[in-house]
Amino acid sequence: MSPQPPARSYGPELQVLNPATEEVVATVPAATAADVDAAVVRAAKAQTAWAALAPGERARLLRRFAVVVDEHLEELARLEVLEAGHVVGNARWEVGNVRDLLDYAAGGVERLTGRQIPVAGGLDVTILEPLGVVGVIAPWNFPLPIAAWGTAPALAAGNAVLLKPAETTPLTALRLAELALDAGLPEGLFQVLPGHGPVAGAALVEHPGVAKIVFTGSTAVGKQVLAKGSELLKRVTLELGGKSPNIVFADSDLEAAAAAAPMAFLDNSGQDCCARTRILVQRSAYDRFLELLAPAVESVVVGDPAAESTQMGPLISKSQLARVRSYVTDEPVGIRGKAPEGPGFWFPPTVLTGVAPDARVAVEEVFGPVAVVLPFDDEADAIRLANATPYGLSGSIWTRDVGRALRVSGAVRAGNLSVNSHSSVRYWTPFGGFKQSGLGRELGPDALAAFTETKNVFISTEGPAQ
């Protein structure tokens, strides 16, 4: 019998590093299981009062929250740069996304209606009631906007929210909770619980007082969340990994496709579940596409994320840097950009060519600035390659043929596709994946309903029996 590995111990504090310099910028107390339990009690009390508010009042407070976020846009963006290494332009967009999502969710409060269903002998209506306390477990790659994807619609639907940010990026979440109080949201309604996943995260998932978990992260951990949540029949939404294809047909605008391809996998240093890291190019256009792609990749500016001209910053941590390197060590590099040397978790933009379609780097999620370029012969071959992964989150299709765009969009097994672009996420359209990329959908017009329970009420119009 093999010996059991020693149990890992978790310290009482989280250490936040600046990934561009490796300097410690903050230490934050780590929540315990007891802290989670106490937070659930506070949240349940606050939720009862919040759900009892008139819908217009709840909407007004959420709109005020959006205004306060906008007033602190630059502060929050700089905090995101500091703890996550995001380039400042992206960070500003992310804060704006939180603001806009709060506004959008507020607009749904007074439109969260049930139905009247025709029945004999009475009136039948459905009522959408809030679930109660919702746990949101947010990732480190987009700590602020993804936290809001679950938080905003859950609050709008009348729930309380307990947010557990990633261990490496708790600062923006903590500040967001302070701004919620400044905006007038009730104490205890939106609480942030920084902590270790196996401690605070597990306590949220396993707590009987938490009605739903919204988890964004790796597929492996997502499966654990689903298994634990199922023991309590807890509702779970999962947004997990991806290995998204960027399909370039020979009839497409090759110049436009090549110009757009770099940031489709280099945005946020490739730490994006939607990153188009498998570039599939029709064989007759393969060489020309690579000729166009090389200067586009090599010209990407990698450096200080606080500088306005920077297009790509560092990876989040030393362990993530080691992970990315492990995928590239033995593979042929076709194109490589530049990255700073010295302190910081830097890795250059990298494109691999001559890689086997079933190579580890071609099928697993690297979560770094690395893409592979694979040739295909025809439409059927492109679809086969696109679907040859356990993931199905997003993807792009480049072609001038409208019929082909529709056929391929219908055949690729992914939740979010773009034609002649790389757009995946809008707060007013649904987002989520097929296969091992997740369960459920976030955002869009149905987001609030995902945080409700449907109650059916029948009212007899017939008098009592004589």
Closest to 264 (Cα-Cα) out of 249, 283, 252, 247: 247
Provide Rg for the chain, Cα atoms: 24
DSSP labels, 433-466:
-EETTEES-BSSTTTGGGGEEEEEEEEE-SPPP-
Helices within 360-435 (DSSP H only): 360-363, 379-386, 402-411
Neighbouring CB atoms inside 10 A of 6's CB total 6
Q: Which amino acid is at 180?
A: A
- Between CA 289 and CA 466 the distance in angstroms is 83
**3-state SS string for 276-324:** CCEEEEEHHHHHHHHHHHHHHHHCCCECCCCCCCCCECCCCCHHHHHHH
Burial 447-466 (b: 16+ CB within 10 A, else e): bbebbbeeeeeeeeeeeeee
Distance of CA 181 to the CA centre of its chain: 25
- Between CA 245 and CA 215 the distance in angstroms is 24
Contact of 434 with 392, CB cutoff 8 Å: yes
Burial 52-79 (b: 16+ CB within 10 A, else e): eeeeeebbebbbbbbebbbebbeebbbb
- The helix or strand, by DSSP H or E, that contains position 350, with its residue range, turns out to be strand 350-352
Using DSSP's 3-state secondary structure scheme, residue 262 falls into helix
What DSSP state is assigned to residue 165? -
Contact of 393 with 244, CB cutoff 8 Å: yes
Catalytic residue annotation? 239, 273
- Between CA 419 and CA 247 the distance in angstroms is 9
- Between CA 135 and CA 54 the distance in angstroms is 24
Number of residues that make up the chain: 466
Distance of CA 285 to the CA centre of its chain: 33
By DSSP bridging, strand 24-29 and strand 190-192 are: unpaired
